[in-house]
Structure 1
Amino acid sequence: MDKKELEGRDKERRAKTERGILELLDHPFLPTLYATLDSPRWCCLLTEFCPGGDLHVLRERQPEKRFDEAVVRYGLSLLIALNFRIDLC
């Protein structure tokens, strides 16, 4: 991430929050954070490759930048079911 762009768009806090969350969590539904790199110009999060992109980009592409309620319900039910299955293993 370009630090000047983050500052200009007031996204610095959001980027720090994302970094903090990824540093704290280790979950199969989240990308693994392998390392972070900071330079005077760049702030880098080295994660595993996610070929589908991220939820923010997907949400931005939706009508009115919102997910349909049915999509959210399905996604949550899928996550709950998968989490339940993982807990049983």
Structure 2
Amino acid sequence: MSRLFYKAIIEDVQNNKCSEVEVDALLDIYASTVKRTATTSARKAWFELGDFACAKVMGVNHFTLMLERCQASGQEQWWGIFECDQKVLKVIATLERN
């Protein structure tokens, strides 16, 4: 079954200097990126948010995202790090069936 029918559940967020508007936009992008990447065999992926159509509209097109699939306590987790200059947002998510 495709993981596109799953919902990304944000488990943990660590924010360093990102505004609340940026955090909201980055979490939206993160959830959709995790769902799309989960359907592949990739264990690690890097993204330039400037390549995302919605990122410019949301004002976060200067960020990069490193996404990694990890196993923790028998559960698949997705660890992500958004970076732009001194701003860093770390996110851990799991997938839950819709």
Global fold match (TM > 0.5): no
Higher relative contact order (CA 8 A, sep 6+): 2
Higher strand share: 2
Between structures 1 and 2, the one with greater helix share:
1
What TM-score results when the alignment is normalised by the length of structure 1? Answer: 0.27
Work out which of the two has the higher radius of gyration on C-alpha atoms and give 1 or 2. Answer: 1
